[in-house]
Amino acid sequence: MNRLNVLLIDDEPERVQALKEALHSLGHHVVCQLPNTTHLNKRVEDTHPDIVIIDMDSPNRDTLESMSTMSKNNPRPIVFFAEQQNDRKTMSDAINAGVSAYISDGLQPDRVKAIMDTAIAHFDAHSSLRAELEKAKTQLADRKVIEKAKGMLMKHQGCDEKQAFETLRKLAMDRGQKLPDVAQSVIDVLELTNGLSK
Amino acid sequence: MSAPLTLEKNNLKLGFVALLDCAPLVVAREKGFFKRHGLDVVLCKESSWASIRDKVSFGLYDGAHMLAPMPLASTLGLNGNKTPMMTALALSQNGTAITLSEEFHTLLSKTIDNWEDDKLVGEQFKKQVKSSSVKPVMATVYPYSNHYYQLRYWLEQHGIDAEHDVQLIAVPPTQMIPSLSNGAIDGYCVGEPWNSLALIQKIGGLLTTGHKIWGAHTEKVLGVTQEWAAAYPNTHQALVKALYEACQWVEDINNKEELYQLLALPPYLDQAATTLSDYTPPLAMKQHFAGKQVNVPDPKQGEFILSQMLDCGQLSDADNPADFAIISRTVYRQDLFQKWVS
């Protein structure tokens, strides 16, 4: 009765695994889905999730939001959780942790709250873990390239270190390349266009 | 020359989506228009409109490059947190189009000798759809967007039922081209560069453009929350002025080459911009960043968008069309635009 169907859409394997286990132990049924699929629409229809948890930065968020409005034949399967929750604190924590969620219309708010709190805690923990891991994993030469690219981006963009790293990470995802390769091409482009701006 | 404004805030974060019409933000930063108005701005690239809405709503960003319907949708609380928003500057006009897969386009070309003839195009599209047992799959990105309304508008204008004759789905912009080439979708309605890129790569053909469907219309705006605008009026004014100047720069044809070099920088459109600079699509998109009425946040535009929302069933019964003019005037702030830049 209390068991909810949770669909996790995320491309960070460690985070997915940890969050899946945590939600399992709360007694929920969890289905995982990698975001790089063109069949997300069908997947959501098939799994009938009570709640969808998705990386805030995933382009699939717009797809999920479209599903609830696009076709009148589609019974609104999910809504952005803020629509019902009216809980700005949880929303704000979620956005800062980089997690967003969609829930089926009419689900009781208190049941969602526990799941959201768990997801927020795991996303928060993961971002500090990821920074550590990134440091440990990257070879020294690679790290130098990444640091240099980060430095150049910070100077060019006037942004902080976290944001520069985010930019590199997004570029790597967009291009399907490894981080050091993207870092090198950022250095090349910015050096080439040095003096172009300003 | 009026006395310089005392800004309540100098350091700003603005969100954008990597589309051609984010150009005014990029140019304002790279060519020093923000600096000239005392602003130090960080531009943050976002992967979804949902994320833009949330980060502006919750104050993570001061403002953003937004779809024209977004400040209205957010003010009404449609599919998200209800946060009153507003715009005092339209960033761009037109620039959307409907692209069909090469296969579908070629099939229709057998009976369409002139793609400028919209009546003929509509008739043949309808004929094809009604005679086929398989519904064409048409994609858009986001439900509160001109693209979505234009696709539905065009279909219904030609007697094609958006609910039954075609299948409407949503696909993220970066997956549009792969989906079109692998046959997962038969067409899409999106903003630039995604139409031109499909044409350059010869995997699609243009059906029509947003400008042909609606005439001139506001496409992107500078969106902020009403709360932010009340707290930082001078900063808001400086931001609008800087972006307005950047819009003029972007529109100037002499700057075209430099514009594409700036857009190709890694934090912005990256590699997608490099192939675009010399390309002119077959049907005119008429995308503009400055010129007569282009930058005015006209409440009449807002009312028109609200009527599109109503037609698509996005508004509830409680939303009264009689209120559209009032809602639109609080969101599309033509008065501020006129005070600040005219």
Q: Is A157 on the interface with B (CB under 8 A)?
A: yes
Cβ-defined contact of B55 to A95 (cutoff 8 Å):
yes
Inter-chain touch B163–A73, beta carbons under 8 Å: yes
pLDDT at A47 over 80: no
Q: Which residues of B touch A10 (CB under 8 A)?
A: none
Domains in chain B: boundaries: 11-94+218-341, 96-214
Q: Do B172 and A92 touch (CB under 8 A)?
A: no
**DSSP-derived secondary structure letter, B90:** E
ipTM of the modeled complex: 0.88
In degrees, to the nearest 5, what angle opens at C-alpha A158 toward C-alphas A153 and A163?
60
CATH of domain B11-94+218-341: 3.40.190.10
Band of pLDDT at residue A67, cut at 50, 70 and 90: confident
Query: Which residues in chain A touch residue B176, judged by CB atoms under 8 angstroms apart?
Result: none
Closest Cα in chain A to B314: A69
Assess contact for B274 and B260: CB atoms under 8 A.
yes
d(CA A36, CA A173): 10
Contact at CB, A100 and B54, closer than 8 angstroms? yes
Residue A63 and residue B172: Cβ atoms within 8 Å? yes
Give residue B3's pLDDT band: very low, low, confident or very high (50, 70, 90): low
| Comma-separated ranges of CATH 3.40.190 domains in chain A | 5-131
- Which of A45-49, B81-85, B165-169, B196-200 shows the lowest mean pLDDT across its residues? A45-49
What's the gap in Å between the CA of A17 and the closest CA on chain B? 24
Q: Does A107 touch chain B (CB under 8 A)?
A: no
* A184 CB within 8 Å of a chain B CB: no
At B253-291, the pLDDT tens digits run 999 999 999 999 888 888 777 788 778 888 889 999 999
Least confident of A69-78, B166-175, B211-220: A69-78
Mutate to test the interface with A, among B27, B81, B101 (most CBs of A within 10 A): B81
d(CA A149, CA A143): 10
Greatest CA separation for chain A: 64
Put simply, whether the predicted model's pTM sits higher than 0.80 gets the answer yes
The pLDDT tens digits of the residues spanning B58-81 come to: 999 999 999 999 999 999 988 667
B58 neighbourhood in chain A, CB within 8 Å: 88, 91-92, 95
Q: Which helix (H) or strand (E) holds B150?
A: helix B146-157
| Distance (Å) from the alpha carbon of A78 to chain B's nearest alpha carbon | 10
* CATH numeric code, B96-214: 3.40.190.10
Between A80 and B241, residue with greater pLDDT: B241
pLDDT at A166: 86
Contacts of B265 in chain A (CB under 8 A): 156, 189-190, 193
Residue-wise pLDDT tens digits, B109-124 = 999 999 999 999 999 9
Whether A81 shows a pLDDT value over 80: the answer reads no
Q: What is the dihedral of CA B267, A154, B244, B4, to 10 degrees?
A: 180
Beta bridge partners of B168: B138
- What is the nearest CA distance from B90 to chain A, expressed in angstroms? 23
CATH number of A5-131: 3.40.190
Cβ separation of A59 and B60 shorter than 8 Å? Answer: no
CB contact under 8 A, A56 and B169: no
CB spacing of A61 vs B42 below 8 angstroms: no
From the list A25, A7, A3, the residue with the least C-alpha distance to A16 is A7
The class level of CATH for A138-192 reads mainly alpha
**Per-residue pLDDT reduced to its tens digit, B27-42:** 999 999 999 999 999 9
Q: Which residues of chain B does A169 touch, with a Cβ-Cβ cutoff of 8 Å?
A: none
Which burial class, exposed, middle or buried, applies to B298 when counting CB atoms under 10 A from its CB (0-12, 13-18, 19+)?
middle
CA distance B121 to B115: 6
| Percentage of chain B modeled with pLDDT above 90 | 81
Residues of B with Cβ-Cβ distance to A68 under 8 angstroms: 79
Contacts of A198 in chain B (CB under 8 A): 30-32
Residue range A85-102: average pLDDT? 80
B187, B191, B195, B198 alpha-carbon torsion, rounded to 10°: -80
Q: Which residues lie closer than 8 Å to A21 by C-beta, 6 or more apart? A: none
Give pLDDT, residue B286: 94
